[in-house]
Chains A and B, each alone.
Chain A
């Protein structure tokens, strides 16, 4: 048995409480192994149907859906939930993901019947409060970014990218500039940026990063040309750095007749401190599920409103609220729909609740605390962890590479899995692609100094352990999670994507 710096035992075989099937870490059968097609957790009457309106379309094929009574369902989903890490149970140092606290007032307001129980096609005269809310949210987003318009409807950040790039394409088509078929994307960009550009038919031209992790305005100028439609630039960038030449980059892009799409995934670092409109951006999506605390929910639903400059405002998609009126059909230069109805209203309510709770002053303080926390983590870890771009403060996240692990036999992945055994969710790994074995840590403003100290102590202890030659505890990790490392190759090679009824288990087993 080995001990970590907190004196807690680590390593295989020391952790009996984590064994499958124990009462606190349940091993839960599949729904289909518990329920059957006769059980149900709802009481509904059997009814006679007074006519034949089914035109011969009645279902003949089996449905084969397992049912659970309410107590069985509660137990199943509560037990499953306990196999999840969550922000309420611990710190999520995931760089680029902004896993901040999700206030419960947001959940309460989103569930008011006047928001949750209104239909998207109810007469507009009956939903004036909903339109007012969308207007208020738009006002907050435009004020924080100093932009001319906002398209609220994108359903996620990537959807927002698509919306913003469609607006750029429409603007260029309208100006007779439809021949611009190239989008510049820095190497450090999120994968969604090139994927979005490609999905819209653009060729992607990569911009290399400078040695200090930022984008060189000269490199941008060299890549610009009459074929370039736009640059997609993340600022602060994915190395956690504010792009110092962003204003010059914007000017160069505009001078070349192109647009500046800003990936706003990292807006949390600068909200209330810097307005992206002042930097010269033309479009930027804002992930309400990052910056404005709407819950991640295990992978969505997100929301990705896109703020637009005056040049792109006429190309916003419908629907939108204009002077209290709901505009539902594209007129003039406006884009058509990118989704049915009006976007993620439930997320609008949560985000506005969050913003009003903070106020303009609180949002700025949150940004400053997020930056403070990231720099604190970097200062504390930087003595041991390797810092790829030293000599400058970071914004909301701290990037390390794996050179401090050289010769230890421990990879970034192993290190991350060992964090699980110490009670922390891993940081973002192997992203951005511009440094080797990247470890990207974003503490957010939600973490107290005490939590950050525990986190840093743990990380330093792990680094010490790695350097001390104790590679086995890393390569074996995790050993204290509900599962050991999972075989992802097997999952991909012969995909099993749904439960199949075993031959010996007939339908309606009872």
Chain B
């Protein structure tokens, strides 16, 4: 077995040092009835080339995004990741390091996290950010719990433009009931969330660009929430938008959570991704997740440590702010490297390029008979009404090698009003030829 260093001879030597005869003696405390007497019913060990072939065969049964025209977004976006990002994150010292609990031998990871926190704070326009969360959806649920702790109120109002999966995760975390108000899906960008805030409301949750692509008026949401003593939680699932769209922090957001996958991270069929969470300085001690802070060492040299761990489960146990005991370190590293390579200049250009391609897509779609574009505003994503059940249309296009977007009915199966809607995205990777292929195929499919 290529991963196990011992020879049988060495095993025997070690057993004699321990003072037992066989390995079985080491399992003496295990109840006899629980010890397997024969091998588990699974295949035996396998050489590298056979395992690789098996995985290639499985992978070969999937249609990769790069195999043809591709317009799926809805919370996960296909962007170009510079070659150096993946090279760097595969360095042993990044890939195979443990959580930086021993700061003297973990300054690489810690400094990176400090830089990451700074980048996330800048990007979102907030005072502070943590060292990352599992993903955007769980970060949203944690933000909701955080808002409850901060306000000592319970009611949460979720915008109808919030990603349906994110809404579902919040529902699972906090449970259905009068304290969780999930507004109806709002594909036209409509919604009356401002009228749903009351004196019991802990927070309203607003996504922008929203699930359907619309840009939401955060200033009005912040003012209304604050007037009632509630908090505004802003969700961003496409962080590249922050290179062109105003930062939530500049518009009054109290907690900002993002899905950071767009930078540095592949689609990976949904994970691993990286959740971002940023907030106001005064809320730090109720923020979940790891935080990295600057300090000095015994020689006075600048260094970094995990800090404020008195919020966390390994110190506080049942009194912790959350049960979270990890972040998304390697994905945060990929995010941070990609953002360092972009810099402000590159991010602004990337965001404009995404938006310009989306404008091209929107205009092309508007010209297809039978299609209605629902957006007056968008960043790189939009919703169309195809006037007939959307899911079969998507399937017909997929059969032609075009991944044309997400039928909203897949995420909102119970909502009869969304059956004919498709959410589509363009990124810097979308070409004019892709758009032409899409519109041509849609014209045929909708006849």
Distance between Cα atoms of A312 and B240 in the complex (Å): 41
A/B interface sample: 12 pairs, CB < 8 A? A41-B343, A54-B379, A65-B347, A115-B55, A127-B63, A144-B42, A195-B323, A352-B55, A392-B28, A482-B107, A486-B296, A491-B294
| Per-residue contact bits, chain B 33-59, to A (CB 8 Å; 1 contact, 0 not) | 111100111111110100110111111
Instruction: Choose from A64, A112, A490 the contact partner of B59 (Cβ within 8 Å).
Output: A112
Bitwise interface map of A from 99 to 137 toward B, beta carbon under 8 Å scored 1, else 0: 101110101111111111111111101111110110010
| Option from A63, A89, A166 in Cβ contact (under 8 Å) with B347 | A63
B-contacting 9-mer, from A254-262, A294-302, A460-468: A294-302
Asked if A65 contacts B270 (CB within 8 A), the reply is no
Size class of the A contact interface (CB-based, 8 Å): 35 or more
The interface residues of chain B lying within 8 Å CB-to-CB of A101 are: 3
A-B pairs with lowest CB-CB distance, top 3 = A67-B343, A114-B59, A341-B270
A272 to B44, CA, bound (A): 12
Contact in complex: B246, A123 (CB < 8 Å)? no
- Is the pair A483, B301 in contact by a Cβ cutoff of 8 Å? yes
B residues near A158, Cβ cutoff 8 Å: 313, 323-326
* Per-residue contact bits, chain A 37-60, to B (CB 8 Å; 1 contact, 0 not): 111111011111111011101111
Q: Are A445 and B4 in contact (CB under 8 A)?
A: yes
Q: Is A150 on the interface with B (CB-CB < 8 A)?
A: no
A273 contacts the other chain (CB 8 A)? yes
A510 interfacial contact with B, CB 8 Å: no
Which A residues touch B291, using CB under 8 A?
Answer: 495, 497
CB–CB B14/A376 < 8 A = yes
Contact with A along B57-99 (1 / 0, CB 8 A): 1111111111100101011101000101010111111111111
Segment of A220-228, A238-246, A402-410 in the binding face: A238-246
A471, B285: Cα distance in complex, Å: 37
B30 touching A298, Cβ below 8 Å:
no
- Expressed in whole angstroms, the Cα–Cα distance for A292 and B45 within the complex equals 14
Given A121-B74, A361-B45, A491-B305, A296-B98 contact (CB < 8 Å)? yes
Contacts of B244 in A (CB 8 A): 54, 58-59
The reply on B153 being an interface residue by CB < 8 A is no
| B91 and chain A: residue at smallest CB distance | A81
B153-192 contact mask (Cβ, 8 Å, vs A): 1 or 0: 0000000000101101101110000000000000000000
**B27/A44 in contact, CB under 8 A:** no
A194 CA to B320 CA, complexed, in Å: 9
Residues in B whose Cβ lies below 8 Å from that of A386: none
B4 touches A302 (CB 8 A): no
Across the interface, name the chain B residue whose C-beta is closest to A289: B326
Check if A74 is an interface residue, CB within 8 A of chain B. yes
Asked if B194 is an interface residue, CB under 8 A from chain A, the answer is: no
Complex CA–CA separation, A44 to B348 (angstroms): 10
> What residue in chain A is nearest B65 (Cβ atoms)?
A117
Does B122 reach chain A (CB closer than 8 Å)? Answer: yes
Given A125-B398, A130-B62, are A28 and B118 neighbors across the interface (CB < 8 Å)?
A: no
Smallest CB–CB gap between A487 and chain B, Å?
A: 5
Q: Give the Cβ gap from A38 to chain B, nearest Cβ, in Å.
A: 6
Q: Is B18 an interface residue (CB 8 A)?
A: yes
**What is the CB-to-nearest-CB distance from A350 to chain B, in angstroms, rounded to a whole number?**
10
Closest B residue to A35 using CB positions: B343
A491–B295 touching, CB < 8 Å: yes
Most buried by B among A101, A105, A118, A275: A118
In the assembled complex, which residues on chain A have CB atoms less than 8 Å from the CB atom of B376?
Answer: 53, 55
Q: Contacts A337-B169, A356-B46 known; A275 to B40 CB distance under 8 Å?
A: yes
Are B330 and A126 in touch, CB under 8 angstroms?
A: no
Which A residue's beta carbon lies closest to that of B314? A191
**Is the beta-carbon distance between B59 and A359 smaller than 8 angstroms?**
no
Q: Using Cβ atoms and an 8 Å threshold, which residues of chain B touch A49?
A: 352, 355-356, 359
B138 touches A (CB below 8 Å): yes
- Chain B interface residue count, CB cutoff 8 Å, equals 209
For the complex, give the distance between the alpha carbons of A94 and B102 in Å: 11
Contact call A360/B323, Cβ cutoff below 8 A: no
Within 8 A of A (CB), among B268-311: 268-274, 284, 290-299, 301, 303-305, 307-310
Find out whether the CB atom of B52 lies under 8 angstroms from the CB atom of A108: yes
A191 near B268: Cβ-Cβ < 8 Å: no
A273–B35 Cα distance when bound, in Å, is 6
Residue on B nearest A104 in the bound complex, by CB? B90
- The answer on a CB contact under 8 Å between B59 and A68 is no
Q: A97-B98, A158-B323, A339-B169 are in contact. List 8 more A-B contacts (CB 8 A).
A: A50-B363, A89-B92, A195-B318, A296-B98, A296-B329, A340-B165, A485-B297, A486-B103
Docked Cα-Cα span, A128 to B30, in Å, equals 41
Contact (Cβ within 8 A) A37 B343: yes
Chain A contacts for B42, CB-based, 8 A: 140, 143-144, 355, 359-360, 363
- Considering the chains assembled together, what is the distance between the CA atoms of A328 and B391 in angstroms? 15
A196 at the interface (CB under 8 A from B): yes
B residues less than 8 Å from A274 (CB atoms)? 27, 30, 34-36
Q: How far is the CA of A70 from the CA of B10 in the complex (A)?
A: 47
Asked if A89 contacts B93 (CB within 8 A), the reply is: yes
Judge whether A357 and B99 touch: CB under 8 Å: no
B123-131, B197-205, B225-233, B437-445 - the one binding chain A: B123-131
Q: Given A159-B134, A195-B322, A337-B172, is A393 in contact with B20 using a C-beta cutoff of 8 Å? A: yes
Is A305's beta carbon under 8 Å from chain B?
no
Q: Is the CB of B297 within 8 A of A336?
A: no
With an 8 A cutoff between CB atoms, is B433 at the interface?
A: no
B44 partner residues in chain A, CB cutoff 8 A: 359-362
Question: Given A341-B269, A357-B46, is A478 in contact with B4 using a C-beta cutoff of 8 Å?
Answer: no
A211 close to chain B: CB less than 8 A: no
B243's partner among A30, A38, A59, A84 (CB-CB below 8 A) is: A59
Given A109-B55, A482-B107, decide whether A492 and B35 contact each other with a Cβ distance below 8 A: no
| B251 smallest CB distance to A (angstroms) | 9
Partner of A242 from B18, B27, B330, B348 at Cβ < 8 Å:
B27
Min CB distance A19 to B, Å, is 10
- The 0/1 profile, CB within 8 Å of B marked 1, for residues 401-435 of chain A is 00000000000000011001000011000010000
> Chain B residues near A268 (CB, 8 Å)?
none
Cβ 8 A contact of B246, one of A60, A117, A129, A379: A60
Which of B13, B45, B284 has the most A CB atoms < 10 Å from its CB?
B45
Contact call B58/A133, Cβ cutoff below 8 A: yes
> 1/0 per residue B386-408: CB within 8 Å of A?
00000000110011000100100
Contact with A along B409-447 (1 / 0, CB 8 A): 011010000000000000010000000000000000000
Q: Tell me the chain B residues, 343-384 only, with Cβ under 8 Å from chain A.
A: 343-350, 352-353, 355-356, 358-360, 362-363, 375-379
Whether B341 pairs with A356 at a CB distance below 8 angstroms is no
Q: A425 and B105: CB pair below 8 A? A: yes
Cβ-neighbour of A343 out of B60, B266, B270 (below 8 A): B270
Among A103, A122, A296, A360, the most chain B Cβ lie within 10 Å of the Cβ of: A122
